Amino acid sequence: MMASSPRRTTFALILCCVLQQLLQLAGVARAAGNFYQDVDITWGDGRGKILGGGDLLTLSLDRASGSGFQSKNQYLYGRFDMQIKLVPGDSAGTVATFYLSSQGSAHDEIDFEFLGNASGEPYTVHTNVYSQGKGGREQQFRMWFDPTADFHTYSVLWNPKHILFYVDGTPIREYRNREATAGVPFPTRQPMRVYASMWDGEEWATQGGRVKTDWSRAPFTASYKGLAASGCASQDVAACARSNGAWMYQELDTTAQDRLQQVQKNYMIYNYCTDTWRFPQGAPPECAAAK
């Protein structure tokens, strides 16, 4: 066996150190931030609390008020992950949220909303997309697990081509940019902040408002951790459009497309595109363009 030359040994050591540094950097990139550094609790009069040195944030709702927070940064495109443990037991009438939004009457918005349930019934995961102030693009799902028993990761990927909603890495919804083909506005010009809130949706959240909130169970508390936001934080729209982050080019491969179709077949309970009562003259144009 030939002995290693000093030059080869030195190169191997340098390569090993470089690989270790790259792995450490990758770990930092994947690691969640600190709530003290990354968000501001914007309302709730003490009902929102940062705990565990900044690793955990809880939002509570009682009859007097809910609570919420927003990210310090705003982004134009990116990938946004949040681990959430929802309110256990009878949470009827409550709504916990994780979403992106710009400001103003013509705002853009990308929503995860978790609609509370009567005890023994599953949570409803409500998704929606607004562009230039117009929403009404709801899809709703049941989950394949109990979202109150532990933390699960809910993610939004947003780039100029599409918006993807993920649960624990599984895609549950894709909303594509059909501005050019169907004339439907798509969020491409307004930076958005990350928001979360816990609020009173008693009038509509549970079975269309038929099941009311049992306020004797208050406060209702949802827990958040692991906020990871990776996106373009520049205010220059043109610069963000040239971003080279992985999220700018991410598409669903064949396996992910199959998983998306399985989730939509087995767990979707509402799709605005198929609501003929709501749209008797035909589905919105982006629905037809998707076929």
Q: Which residues are catalytic?
A: 109, 113
d(CA 291, CA 274): 12
Burial 222-240 (b: 16+ CB within 10 A, else e): bbbbebbbbbbeeeeeeeb
Q: What are phi and psi of 241, to 5 degrees?
A: -65, -20
Torsion of CA 158, 161, 165, 170, to 10 degrees: -120
Q: Could you tell me what percentage of the chain is helix, strand and coil, using 3-state DSSP and rounding each to the nearest 5?
A: 25, 35, 40
Residue where the block lists tokens 């940062």: 50
| CB 157, CB 137: distance < 8 Å | no
Structure tokens at 3: 């002995």
d(CA 106, CA 24): 42
Helix (H, G, I), strand (E, B) or coil at 192: strand
d(CA 184, CA 147): 33
